[in-house]
Chains A and B, each alone.
Chain A
Amino acid sequence: MKRCRQCDVWVDSDGAKCPLCYADLECAQDGAGGAPGETYPQLGPAQHNGPGYHVVSRIFLFLSLLAAAVSLSVNFLVDRMHTPWSLLVVGGIPFVWLLVRYVIMGKVNIARRLMTQLLGSAGFVLLLEWFLRGSIYQGWALTYAIPFMNVAATLAITMILCVRYLRWTAYTLYQFLTALLGLLPLLFWLMGWITPGIWWPSLASAFYSLATLAGMFIFVDRKYKNELIRRFHL
């Protein structure tokens, strides 16, 4: 045990200085109780961890904003936004961010990432569709793209559920939500938003969703109900 005369305290330390006032410590034999020696694992000198990957993120964020600003300005200068192609760039950037940062680099549950990807892609194709309005491609997003994406996402999550069934609790919620989203094209059809006459993709999506929901209820009914109660408790 060492002693700091400035503070009038005993110091149990391997160091040479008082941790309170940084004065030099005195060695003293007649210490008050306790064996000398390391008591807590000691902090080394500061590492000053560099910002590292945050810099990369920030560079990309800066470039994204720059790209958006440049395309908007060029678009405005060239044709006063008559053909608003720059909005496609502006809308596409968040989509790419979502894809890279959340879906590809993300660490959360893969089913949740798939569902997020589904929502993000739906947003992006809607933007594309708005951009292509008036052309022969009008209505393709709601008619074909979104119903097919729903089926694909629902199927993908079902496959993950089957392969990694030990972790089924983590995926059930997203299977359920994705299947619910799959019913939406039915609404598009009823509201008359799709290309007239081409109703089969919407119907297929809704049918596939219902089949998935029914399958969940039939095959894993009780555990599945418990999982839903947990996930949705108010």
Chain B
Amino acid sequence: MAQPENWYRLDNAAKIYPAISNKRRGSVFRVSVTLRDMVDAEALQRAADVVVQRFPTMAVRLHKGLFWYYFENTQASPRVQRERPWLCQPMDHSGDEGFLFRISYHQRRVNVEMFHSLTDGTGALVFLKALVFHYLREQGHAVSSEGDVLDKDRPFSIEEVEDSFLTHYDPKNGQRAQEELAYQLRGTPDGDGRLRLTSVGMDSARAVQLSRDKGCTLGEYLTALLMQSIYLAQVAGRPNALPIRISVPVNLRRFFRSRTLRNFSSYLNIGAQMTPDTPFDDILEQVRRQMREGLTQQNLARGINANIQAERNLFLRATPLVIKNVALRMAYRLYGERVFTCAFSNLGQVTLPQSMQPYVTRIEVVLGLGDINRLNVAACSYGGRLVINFTRSITEPDVEKLFCRALAQQGLQVTVQSNEGGAL
């Protein structure tokens, strides 16, 4: 679809987030790299100034039209900030800067926090890589992109701004069935609404070996382990509880040809039947079956269709935005987060050009939280380390505890970091 050069429609998946975001639900996630050396804020600012020029879909402000939101390009440059202990806080859309992402640093780490309307995890990592690439250049390191970084010299391609949902929409595929409600974690909410982060690190080769021994993928293994941990922490002994379901985002670029830097992901809701005596292998088998059934091109295409068909309905399109927002909020309260217990986003192996690797020691992903789900989990691996980040809005770390203990029991060396360690 032809777009005038200085504004964009929100992509199909992005449309929900401005409607449902508020002071408590930011719809924000974070990708970070840890560098070998301390971060130089001024060099990072210069790198940010360069990199926003390269990513026209990121340097935007959110505006309201009569029927839809839209993004408008801005010539401003985002101000690099110190990282604050409150993570994944909502973006201030109306602020003077009005950026929908936030670049921050703390000691050796550089974070990019991103409003989900802009892009998904894959797109955010592309942006972060480019930022770090230019930062290392600013620092005088001889890094080269090796075709793996969208640096400022790589020409911008129109494919990067495509709404791939529309490209791959095919009404022949039918729609996805309605989801059922899922168990929600209980616990003491933090009085200030802050998020607690527990970062769990381990050797990725050994973790992969663990899943190979069971004949499954690492993602399947971790999903099953997470499900078992939630069950044993809260649901065991409660026969009437709703089923635990884990929402697993799927990067659709792996299934459909796309080079977009905007949202192009879907999700699978994975559930399992359990009793306190169900062996782990049984849970794993159920997870594996659902993953393999779900991760087919046809099933994923159904998910795309369900979204697009709502969007194409002329009556819905011509409804004023104010009314759309109210309706979306109500629908989201009823079905949005209530159909899963927690999200588990696995971004898999993250790669960097050979020349950048000596300067980057760690890459990680952190998910924010809404006000219904109390726990979200995100994983990725880089440089032989697998980092699994748990974000929770309740004070009790029971799920994390069982999860880590189970991994330790399998003989893994598990390292735990937290943003509340100092207070304990």
Binding site for B on A (CB under 8 A): 1, 4, 7-22, 32-34, 37-49, 107-108, 169, 173, 226, 229-234
Contacts and interface: CB of A to CB of B under 8 A. Distances in A.
Contact of B63 (A1, A17, A226, A230): A230
Given A20-B404, A233-B9, A234-B318, A42 B415 contact: no
B416 A232 contact: no
Contacts of B66: 173, 231-232
B420 A9 contact: no
Contact of B413 (A21, A32, A226): A32
A232 B67 CA distance: 6
A7 B408 contact: yes
A46 B188 CA distance: 13
Given A20-B404, A39-B199, A13 B418 contact: yes
A185 to B, nearest CB: 23
Contact of B405 (A8, A32, A107): A8
A93 to B, nearest CB: 22
| Closest CB pairs A-B (n = 8) | A13-B421, A42-B422, A19-B418, A17-B424, A15-B421, A40-B419, A8-B408, A20-B401
B422 A7 contact: no
B416 A43 contact: no
A7 B65 contact: no
Given A14-B421, A233-B70, A234-B317, A43 B397 contact: no
Given A20-B416, A32-B413, A46-B192, A41 B106 contact: yes
* Size bracket, chain B contacts: 35 or more
Interface string B387-424: 00000000001001100110011000111111111111
Choose among B191, B192, B418 the residue with the greatest number of A CB atoms under 10 Å from its CB: B418
B254 interface: no
A9 B404 contact: yes
Nearest to B405: A7
Contacts of B86: 43
Contacts of A108: 94
Contacts of B422: 13-15, 38, 42-43
B416 A12 contact: yes
A11 B63 CA distance: 45
A99 B225 CA distance: 55
B196 interface: yes
A37 B415 CA distance: 13
Given A8-B409, A40-B85, A232-B66, A19 B397 contact: yes
B122 to A, nearest CB: 24
B256 interface: no
Contact of B198 (A15, A19, A46, A233): A19
A13 B417 contact: yes
23 contacts: A8-B414, A11-B421, A13-B421, A13-B422, A15-B421, A15-B424, A19-B418, A20-B198, A20-B404, A21-B401, A32-B413, A39-B109, A40-B199, A40-B417, A43-B86, A43-B422, A48-B191, A49-B192, A230-B70, A231-B63, A233-B67, A234-B317, A234-B318
A234 B190 CA distance: 41
Nearest to B413: A32
B169 interface: no
Contact of A45 (B83, B418, B423): B423
Contacts of A8: 405, 408-409, 414
A10 B405 contact: no
Contacts of B404: 7, 9, 20
Given A40-B197, A46-B190, A10 B397 contact: no
Contacts of B67: 232-234
A12 B34 CA distance: 15
Contacts of B416: 4, 7, 9-13, 18-20
A50 to B, nearest CB: 11
B401 A41 contact: no
Nearest to A37: B107
A42 B421 contact: yes
Contact of A43 (B72, B83, B415, B419): B419
A12 to B, nearest CB: 5
